[in-house]
Amino acid sequence: MTRRSRVLLKDPDLGSPKSWFMCVPPAFNEALDIKQNCGAPNPGWTESGAFAFKSGDRLYNCTEAYSSWGDALRAMKLGVFIQSASSAGMGEGGSRYGGTVQFVVLTPDEERSRLVERFEYSMSQDEFVRMIIEGAVGDFAERLSTHI
């Protein structure tokens, strides 16, 4: 059993911190393993790092993407659409399994009238969470830089 912590990546009642690279509204609390714990010994919001973004999840770089689509396309630089994933967590013998996330990177077309698939990418759930907080790094950053 994984111990849950009261130290959270973000406030579960609010949207993403403004410093985050991607906008992650409260609807994704469960994917970030932020859960309301009603039992003892740790009541309140807790997290254990069992990240679980899943197929069909869509994340964007701005809050506008979660309201009016016309406003979203004018403001948006980047979106990711998760095609497949496996959850992170504890594996056999207590070792950490980072999970996987395969996703398509989307950016607006020149007219900002629709999103265009630019490339596919794969990383662990742990790396994905790091990316949505801190931004793109390494090979992913290089590939992304040619599209935004």
**Poorest-confidence range of 47-56, 65-74, 96-105, 122-131?**
65-74
Per-residue pLDDT, 2: 60
59, 125, 137, 122 alpha-carbon torsion, rounded to 10°: -80
Check pLDDT > 50 for residue 1. Answer: no
Q: Domain spans of the chain?
A: 53-145
Above pLDDT 90, what percent of the chain?
62
Are the beta carbons of 23 and 14 closer than 8 angstroms? no
Check pLDDT > 90 for residue 42. Answer: no
DSSP state of 53: -
pLDDT in tens, 89-132: 887 788 889 999 999 999 999 999 999 999 999 999 999 999 99
Distance from CA of residue 101 to its chain's centroid? Answer: 10
